[in-house]
Amino acid sequence: MVQRIFPDDSGGTVGSVTGNVPAWLMLLVVVTSACTEELLWRASAVHQVQRLTGRAWLGATIGLGAFVLQHVGGWNLGHIVGAVLPIGTVYTLVYVWRRNLPLVILVHFLTDLPLVLIAARVLRLP
């Protein structure tokens, strides 16, 4: 639906970059991105901004903004608005609610893995 509102603006997609990439490397990328992004854009942003200002939600907002901006260069606008922003919001809400970094890393990994495998056509939808 978002793709109809924001037509493809030639940004990349997982499917366009995973054609000849071995499965073990794709798995490593998903694990690494889940760990790195959650550490940087959730845990560090929330804790540091809360330490400086006393406001966890300000850190959460800054972290979410950085998470979205990180994905802008490699994805089209439809993907940013329809996937990155809402999914990043869910990760942020879960982290602020539970303050459990391993949980959010696991949620991120479990969200990204099937999407990457489907985009790379390793998993096929009926």
Q: Note the pTM of the prediction, 2 decimals.
A: 0.79
pLDDT of residue 10: 53
pLDDT of residue 19: 61
Name 49's Cβ contacts closer than 8 Å, sequence gap at least 6.
55, 56, 58, 59, 62, 63
Instruction: Kindly list the distances between the CA atom of residue 104 and the CA atoms of 68, 77, 101, 107, in Å, as whole numbers in the listed order.
Output: 17, 25, 5, 5
CA contacts within 13 A on the Cβ side of 43? 14
Select from 56, 55, 28, 26 the least CA-distant residue to 42: 56
Chain centroid, CA 76 distance in Å = 14
Please give the chain's pLDDT, 126 residues, in tens: 445 555 655 555 555 555 677 878 888 999 999 999 999 999 999 999 999 999 999 999 999 999 999 999 888 999 899 999 999 999 999 999 999 999 999 999 999 998 887 777 766 666
Domain positions in the chain are: 22-119
CA 120 to CA 111: how far, in whole Å?
A: 15
